[in-house]
Amino acid sequence: MQIPEWTKPALMGAGAGAIALAIVGFNWGGWVTESSAKQMSNENSAEAVATALMPYCLQNSKSDPNSMEVLAKFTKANSYQRRGIVEEAGWATPLGAERPDRALAEACQNALAEKI
């Protein structure tokens, strides 16, 4: 069987084109792998839950009998300590959860910092 002369250059060109297409697609075309897509999805869903529950956290901060002491401590604290204060107060613990939600605590402390 005779293979035409143009076969080898055609296959080399197709291979180089496929490699170039993959490089352009992943770097500038917005293509992502499955694991990257899952990670982005998890981050976006955590942000959405925190945004949806932020009024709950702010209401907890208003109705807590110890809110004046906690807010005084919150005001004196550094920005990196404030999330821990909100978590310790229980304001970022959703109903039925055993532990505070980190994303909710971060969003709540940002909202509280804006109000102060």
- Residue 35 maps to a domain: no
Share of the chain above pLDDT 70, in %: 100
pTM of the predicted protein model: 0.65
**In contact, 103 and 50? CB cutoff 8 Å:** yes
Is 36 inside any structural domain?
Answer: no
| Residues spanned by the domain of 106 | 54-116
Q: What is the pLDDT of residues 31-85, one digit of tens each?
A: 999 999 999 999 999 889 888 888 998 998 999 999 999 999 999 999 889 999 9
Total number of domains constituting the chain? 1
The answer to whether residue 91 is domain-embedded is: yes
**Residue 106 lies inside a defined structural domain of this protein:** yes
| Domain membership flag for residue 101 | yes
Give the separation between CA 95 and CA 14, rounded to whole angstroms: 57
> Scanning the structure block, which residue is given the tokens 């004046």?
68
Q: For the chain, how long is the longest CA-to-CA vector?
A: 90
Rounded distance between C-alpha atoms, residue 20 and residue 53, angstroms: 45
Residue 55's H or E segment, with its range, is helix 34-63
73 in any annotated domain = yes
User: Is 107 a domain residue?
Assistant: yes
